[in-house]
């Protein structure tokens, strides 16, 4: 199960389950790691263009920790 990001309650499908949990369950481990890497790269590429930079760094850190958890 994915690490919880308490700021991402808008992704909660129902109590205790977020969209990332469903994505992880639907993909193989390698596919899910690829998904995480893609998201981390997305936030790196748009750094400072959408959310404030500290929030985007938090998102990069979130996906990086998830990758580390699985490898």
In a domain, 30, yes or no: yes
Q: What is the pLDDT of residues 27-49, one digit of tens each?
A: 999 999 999 999 999 999 999 88
Number of structural domains, the chain?
Answer: 1
CB 38 within 8 A of CB 64: no
SS3 8: coil
DSSP code string of 45-70: HTTTTSS-HHHHHHHHHHHHHHHHHH
Evaluate if residue 64 carries a pLDDT over 80: yes
The stretch 22-26 carries a mean pLDDT of 93
Mean pLDDT over all residues of the chain? Answer: 86
Domain of residue 58, residue span = 9-70
CB 10 within 8 A of CB 27: no
Would 3 be classed as within a structural domain?
Answer: no
In a domain, 2, yes or no: no
Would residue 1 count as lying in a domain?
no
**What integer pLDDT is reported at residue 37 of this predicted model?**
97
**Residue 56: is its pLDDT beyond 80?**
yes
């Amino acid at each position: 199960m994915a690490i919880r990001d308490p700021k991402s309650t808008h992704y909660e499908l129902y109590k205790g389950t977020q969209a990332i949990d469903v994505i992880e369950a639907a993909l193989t481990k390698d596919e899910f790691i690829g998904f995480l890497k893609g998201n981390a790269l997305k936030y790196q590429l748009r750094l400072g263009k959408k959310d404030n930079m500290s929030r985007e760094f938090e998102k990069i850190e979130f996906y990086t920790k998830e990758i580390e958890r699985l490898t």
